[in-house]
Amino acid sequence: MRPIPRSLLGILLVIVALLAVFPQFVERYYVQLATKIIVMAIFAMSLDLLVGYTRLVSLGHAAFFGLAGYALAVLQRDLGLVSLWTTLPLTLVVCALAALLVGALAIRTSGIYFIMVTLAIAQMLYYFANDTKALGGSDGMFLATKPTAELFGVAIFDLKNRTTFYYFALAALVASFLVARMVLASLFGRAIDAVRCNEPRARALGFTTWHYKLAMFTIAGTVAGLAGYVGAAQDGIVNPAFLSWHQSGQALVIVILGGMGTLYGPVAGAFVLIVLEDVAAGITEHWLLFIGVFVIAVVLLLPRGIASLPLGDFAGRLFGRGARKRAAAEPGDD
Amino acid sequence: MTEPLLETRGLSKQFGGLAAVNDVSVAFEAGRVHAVIGPNGAGKTTFLNLLSGEMRPTSGAVLFKGSAITGLTPDRIARLGIGRSFQRTNVFTELTCFENCWIAAQSRLPTSLRFFRPAGRRGDLAAAARDSLEQCGLIDRQDRIAAALSHGERRQLEIAMILATQPELLLFDEPLAGMGYRESQDVIALLRRIAQSHTLVLIEHDMDAVFSIADRVTVLVNGTVLETGPVAAIQSSPAVQAAYLGAEEQP
Ligand SMILES: Nc1ncnc2c1ncn2[C@@H]1O[C@H](COP(=O)(O)OP(=O)(O)O)[C@@H](O)[C@H]1O
Ligand SMILES: [Mg+2]
């Protein structure tokens, strides 16, 4: 993994600090919009682990996003579990196991076939949810309550409060980011580098490459599950749209828009795309067209996404660090 | 004769109707340099692919230290202590020389499914990487991206990577291909040094190099072994002269 330049880490800290105080200064609507952005940011970041870091282009990543939502709903309705402390870990375990299973099938293929297999599996889940009465069919399932967070019988925070929920989502984003960074900086992360750069060479050196691809698929699916859990809890409902290829595709657009293989790029991408959607939808009913033009423009003008904007340079000057030198030492495109 | 480190028995590989490797039985003795020569299309690369697990044989067996490794995947075979280079240079082009060798050294760990501790703290792997770069004369290039190396340097990097995996047996597929005279001399010297402590299987087109490095030679023609023997015997073999060496001398 190419380490995030220190100067950029500075910027990230500033951004997190801004995000932390932001609800104090805006209307409720924007707190909810920001929460929605954070959910999408976590989801896109998890996809970046596959697309950007492992070169596994999945078009079915929403399978785990939606599965988490349904898992939460089913745990609440059928097992009467309402606590965050039980439903969150259980949901993540369900998503991890599902990702392990789906991954075991999907990583036998590569390239376009991998895209097809992941898409097909997600579509199967979509139609299963859509056609299963017990899961609410096309209407989906309502969540009777937000997850509760009690410690020794005392509520330590209340997710029914929108601002509190926003902080909860923000904590999930920061945690996802830190876990992703840890994993990418570990020995496993180096093996993933090898797989991404040249899988046949990695195998000939002695790496059992499918182990690493499957592990990454599982991690990405689990983080997507976290996003789905937060998303479903926020909306108070989960429906087949959570599982749709549209949802998978949007995450892929965000990853490409933001910059693959950066983690923070998809976060920026989620922010830009959703804010733009919000603004454009308020101006014109042809907003989808507008978004399309914007995405094309970014991809053409910034092939490596928003993350390739010289933000690091700027921060370097701001913080007086050697970001420019570092950027100059980076190799260009082939 | 010592017990062979690696041995093939009736090894064959069929591509449709073409027998690229046909009933090849060769023994590679420990501590020796064994060259495999033959005209283009003779099946040398295919033979090496069968040894390293890149391809599965149609029939026959490969034995390493007396036990069958036929049909094992390349990663399993590499972990047994068999490293290989490719005819087309095969390195991690986006990474630096140091990172290339670092990852190669990492491949020797029982598993890399280790998620928590930062890899940067593995001083042992860094040392192994530097050591192999040093041996191949690339230490002053350690921070250079592999894509920015000259062709010859990239080939040397691939050798450094293999050394970083600490193999017992090294399989080289035309390590001198496309190199200038100076670089060739460097690599020949490097191969000689490696040969002092390793067993080598060497596919090579450059006959002078082969005859100066190798102990034994196998001549492959149309997938079949024409002859195997010590260098001197091969050099003077009329059959080999006729089938291969003579043809090679006319440009
Ligand atoms: N993957 C493959 N599929 C079909 N034919 C192949 C394949 N690889 C090699 N061959 C054929 O096998 C023969 C031997 O090739 P190769 O082993 O590359 O020869 P050498 O390395 O001695 O030049 C050639 O005729 C080649 O065209
Ligand atoms: Mg060849």
* Burial call B156-179: b when 16+ CB within 10 Å, e when fewer: bbbbbbbbbbbbbbbbbbbbbbeb
Ligand 1 atom, smallest distance to B40 CA: 23
Which of the four pLDDT bands, split at 50, 70 and 90, describes residue A197? very high
Which residues, judged by CB distance below 6 Å to any ligand atom, belong to the binding site of ligand 1?
Answer: B 15, 18, 20, 38, 40-46
Which of the four pLDDT bands, split at 50, 70 and 90, describes residue A323? very low
pLDDT of residue A333: 37
Residues B59-96: tens digit of each pLDDT: 999 999 999 999 999 999 999 999 999 999 999 999 99
The whole-number average pLDDT for the span A200-209 is 98
Is A333 touching B (CB cutoff 8 A)? no
Residue recorded with tokens 């003779």? B42
Nearest residue in A to B118, CA atom: A186
The whole-number average pLDDT for the span A49-55 is 97
The whole-number average pLDDT for the span B151-157 is 95
**What is the dihedral sign for C-alpha B166, B172, B173, B174?**
positive
Query: What does the alpha-carbon distance between residue A39 and residue A46 come to, in Å, rounded to a whole number?
Result: 11
Partner residue opposite B107 with nearest CB, options A183, A197, A207: A207
pLDDT of residue A326: 39
Ligand 1 atom, smallest distance to B203 CA: 21
Is B119 touching A (CB cutoff 8 A)? yes
As a dihedral over the C-alpha atoms of residue B119, residue B122, residue B125, residue B129, rounded to 10 degrees, the angle is 80
Per-residue pLDDT for A332 more than 80?
no
Per-residue pLDDT for B105 more than 50?
yes
* Low-confidence winner among A183-192, A299-308, B169-178 (lowest mean pLDDT): A299-308
Å between B57 CA and nearest CA of chain A: 17
Mean pLDDT over the full length of chain A? 91
List of chain B residues whose C-beta atoms are within 8 Å of the C-beta of residue A188: 112-115
Query: In this predicted model, which residue has the larger pLDDT, A239 or A14?
Result: A239
Ligand nearest to the CA of B17: 1
Nearest residue in A to B101, CA atom: A205
Report CB contact under 8 Å: B95, A215: no
Q: Are B236 and B208 in contact (CB under 8 A)?
A: no
Ligand nearest to the CA of B46: 1
pLDDT of residue A3: 58
B175-183: list long-range contacts, CB under 8 Å, 24+ apart: B175/B85, B175/B202, B175/B204, B176/B204, B176/B205, B176/B206, B176/B209, B177/B87, B177/B205, B178/B151, B178/B152, B179/B151, B179/B152, B179/B155, B180/B152, B183/B150, B183/B152, B183/B155, B183/B156
pLDDT of residue B205: 82
Partner residue opposite B75 with nearest CB, options A182, A193, A206: A206
**What is the dihedral sign for C-alpha A233, A234, A238, A244?**
negative
Mean pLDDT over the full length of chain B? 93
The whole-number average pLDDT for the span A246-275 is 95
Residues A279-321: tens digit of each pLDDT: 998 888 888 888 899 989 998 998 889 888 876 555 555 554 4
Top residue of A108, A186, A187, A219 to mutate, by most chain B CBs within 10 Å, is A187
Ligand 1 atom, smallest distance to B55 CA: 1
CA A324–ligand 2 middle distance (angstroms): 45
Report CB contact under 8 Å: A206, B90: no
pLDDT of residue A288: 86
**What is the dihedral sign for C-alpha B212, B217, B222, B223?**
negative
Q: Are A247 and A239 in contact (CB under 8 A)?
A: no
Query: In this predicted model, which residue has the larger pLDDT, A8 or B15?
Result: B15
Report CB contact under 8 Å: B107, A198: no
Tokens of B54: 């890149």
- Cα-only R_g, chain B: 18
Nearest residue in A to B55, CA atom: A204
Q: Chains A and B: how many Cβ contacts under 8 Å?
A: 98
pLDDT of residue A173: 97
Please state, in angstroms and as integers, the Cα–Cα distance from residue A322 to each residue in A181, A316, A326, B189, following that order. Answer: 22, 6, 6, 41
Pairing of strands B4-15, B18-24: antiparallel
Q: Are B13 and B67 in contact (CB under 8 A)?
A: no
Can you tell me the ipTM of this complex?
A: 0.94
Per-residue pLDDT for A122 more than 90?
yes
Per-residue pLDDT for A324 more than 70?
no
Q: Are A226 and A68 in contact (CB under 8 A)?
A: yes
Report CB contact under 8 Å: B111, A331: no
pLDDT of residue B240: 80
The whole-number average pLDDT for the span A59-81 is 97
Residue of B45, B51, B220, B226 to test ligand 1 pocket, by largest number of atoms within 8 Å of CB = B45
pLDDT of residue B1: 53
- Alpha helices in A132-286, H assignment, sequence order: 162-185, 187-197, 199-205, 209-235, 245-258, 264-283
Residues B175-223: tens digit of each pLDDT: 999 898 999 999 999 999 999 999 999 999 888 889 999 999 999 999 9
Ligand 1 atom, smallest distance to B87 CA: 21
Query: What does the alpha-carbon distance between residue A104 and residue A90 come to, in Å, rounded to a whole number?
Result: 21
DSSP A11: H
Please state, in angstroms and as integers, the Cα–Cα distance from residue A39 to each residue in A142, A260, A274, B169, B188, following that order. Answer: 18, 18, 11, 52, 58
Per-residue pLDDT for A213 more than 80?
yes
Ligand 1 atom, smallest distance to B16 CA: 4
Which of the four pLDDT bands, split at 50, 70 and 90, describes residue B152? very high
Which of the four pLDDT bands, split at 50, 70 and 90, describes residue B35? very high
Å between B206 CA and nearest CA of chain A: 25
Partner residue opposite A193 with nearest CB, options B86, B103, B111: B103
For A:166-195, CB contacts with B below 8 A are: 182-183, 185-191, 193-194
Per-residue pLDDT for A228 more than 90?
yes
Which of the four pLDDT bands, split at 50, 70 and 90, describes residue A14? confident
Q: pTM for the complete prediction?
A: 0.92
CA B242–ligand 2 middle distance (angstroms): 21
* Low-confidence winner among A298-307, B30-39, B155-164, B170-179 (lowest mean pLDDT): A298-307
Which of the four pLDDT bands, split at 50, 70 and 90, describes residue A218? very high
Which of the four pLDDT bands, split at 50, 70 and 90, describes residue A11? confident
Which of the four pLDDT bands, split at 50, 70 and 90, describes residue A127? very high
Pairing of strands B59-64, B224-230: unpaired
Is A105 touching B (CB cutoff 8 A)? no
List of chain B residues whose C-beta atoms are within 8 Å of the C-beta of residue A207: 75, 107, 112
Residue recorded with tokens 């010592």? B2
Residues B93-103: tens digit of each pLDDT: 999 999 999 99
Q: Are A82 and A96 in contact (CB under 8 A)?
A: no
Residue B228 contacts by C-beta under 8 Å, 6 or more apart in sequence? B26, B216, B217, B218, B219
List of chain B residues whose C-beta atoms are within 8 Å of the C-beta of residue A215: 113
Which of the four pLDDT bands, split at 50, 70 and 90, describes residue A5? low
Name the burial class of residue B108, with classes exposed (0-12), middle (13-18) and buried (19+) by CB atoms within 10 angstroms of its CB.
middle
Nearest residue in B to A215, CA atom: B113
Residue of B22, B46, B48 to test ligand 1 pocket, by largest number of atoms within 8 Å of CB = B46
pLDDT of residue A303: 85
Å between A154 CA and nearest CA of chain B: 33
The whole-number average pLDDT for the span A116-120 is 98
Report CB contact under 8 Å: A197, B86: no
List of chain A residues whose C-beta atoms are within 8 Å of the C-beta of residue B90: 198, 200-201, 204
Residues B20-31: tens digit of each pLDDT: 999 999 999 999
As a dihedral over the C-alpha atoms of residue A95, residue A182, residue A259, residue A43, rounded to 10 degrees, the angle is 20
Query: What does the alpha-carbon distance between residue B60 and residue B62 come to, in Å, rounded to a whole number?
Result: 7
